[in-house]
A and B are shown apart, each in its own frame.
Chain A
Amino acid sequence: MIVAAAVIGPQNQPLYLATFVGEDDAARLSTAVHCSLDAVEERVGAGLRGTAPGDAPDAYMGLLATEGELRLYGYATNTRSKLVLAVDDPVIKDDELRAIFRRMHAALVDALSNPFYQQGTPLTSPRFDASVRTIATALGAS
């Protein structure tokens, strides 16, 4: 199941983090997400965005890093925001993750379109938070 979902801005600033396990893990997860950004930078910088070399460039970046039992998957948008999911279930398929990332991206676009939102500041929209939580927990149910 999904353990954490994060949104990172264009300047690698953390904009949002939702955790789906106990409070004490939040710090560890936030560190893990940040460490995975190195992998993101590497892939984006090399112009490779697919899950394997030779793939057509794609927003979905696949597995970025593993940290203990945690697996971190990434997705980079055209507008340089990054979405990261931390998962503790080894059996999740790429396609499922792609679908989740797409829905998260749609929710993100809606949140960013808020005229009162200041770009680059943390996302505090309750609606976005609720959307992400719904999307992430729906995985466990399917």
Chain B
Amino acid sequence: MQLQDHLPLQLHLHEPGLHSRPVMPARGAGRECAESCMDYLTLELVHHYRDAQQGPSLQAALDAVGERVGRQLAERYARDRPPLTEPLEAMKWLCKEFWGEVFRKPVDNLRTNHRGTFVLRDTQFRWLWRLAQNQMPPQLGLSLPPAVPKTELAADYLVLPCAIVRGALAQLGLDCSVAADAASLPQVDFTVVLAGGGTGGAGAAARGAR
């Protein structure tokens, strides 16, 4: 427990409920590592590119990383699934299997306008869960730094998840743009807009034949 005394200020020391949520088991999981490693890695990625004096901008760097990672994860997590021929099938896979593997729980709510726009609502987005807490443990006797709206803070940390989602869908043949809205943390709404208004790839010919 001593390690927790040295945690950065944004982290909450008590985690009611989060660990008791059942975690989706990774298929064929051999080795595991603590989820906090992932938290620290994503935090550090953002800090590194934000504070770097030279090299790519935060947005460019994390877009590139996320897209590549998303593509490779899609290869892995779409492997044993039945063919995802329709964009809606692909989105459902994304919300259940992919989200479960990557963000440790499935999406809570999926809405669509049936014309290529989808809104994925994750009511407890784990990657930003600690940012959502952002409370100072009383026993430290310190006060919070000057308030920065959490939505502004969150924006940097959402670049990577959006890019991962975009990369995953691109790998399935669905080009899209992904934006995230963190106005009511810990809930995050991801808006996916498919290029071509939802008539993706093989689905189009099949729809024509129906």
A49 engages B83 (CB within 8 Å): yes
- Bound CA–CA A45/B209 (angstroms): 10
B82 in contact with A109 (CB, 8 Å): no
A78–B173 Cα distance when bound, in Å, is: 9
Q: Considering the complex, which residues of chain A in the window 81-114 have a beta carbon less than 8 Å from any beta carbon of chain B?
A: 105-106, 108-109, 112-113
Q: How close is A110's CB to chain B, nearest CB, in angstroms? A: 9
- Separation of A56 and B81 alpha carbons in the complex (Å): 13
Compute how far the CA of A57 lies from the CA of B10 in the bound complex, rounded to whole angstroms: 48
A47, B75: Cβ atoms under 8 Å? no
Size of interface on A: residues with Cβ below 8 Å to B: 23
Q: How far is the CA of A119 from the CA of B70 in the complex (A)?
A: 12
Say whether B72 contacts A113, CB under 8 Å. yes
Any B CB within 8 A of the CB of A76:
yes
- A58 is contacted by which of B72, B78, B82, B201 (Cβ under 8 Å)? B82
Chain A contact residues: over half helix, strand or loop, or mixed?
Answer: loop
The minimal Cβ–Cβ distance linking A5 to chain B, given in whole angstroms, is 18
B170 to chain A, nearest CB (A): 10
CA gap between A56 and B72 in the complex, in Å: 27
- Judging by beta carbons under 8 Å apart, are B72 and A78 in contact? no
Q: Within residues 23 to 66 of chain A, which ones have a CB less than 8 A from any CB in chain B?
A: 44-47, 49, 56-59
- Given the complex of chains A and B, what is the CA–CA distance between A106 and B27 in angstroms? 13
A108, B78: Cα distance in complex, Å: 13
Cβ-closest chain A residue relative to B28: A106
Question: Contact: A76 with B83, CB < 8 Å?
Answer: yes
A80 contacts chain B at the CB level, 8 A cutoff: yes
Given contacts A80-B201, A119-B71, could you give 10 more A-B pairs where the C-beta distance is less than 8 Å?
Answer: A46-B206, A47-B85, A47-B202, A77-B78, A78-B83, A78-B84, A79-B74, A79-B75, A109-B75, A112-B72
Identify 8 residue pairs between A and B in the complex whose beta-carbon atoms are under 8 Å apart, listed by A's number: A45-B202, A46-B209, A77-B75, A78-B81, A78-B83, A78-B172, A79-B78, A109-B75
3 nearest A-B pairs in the assembled complex, by CB-CB distance: A47-B206, A78-B78, A57-B83
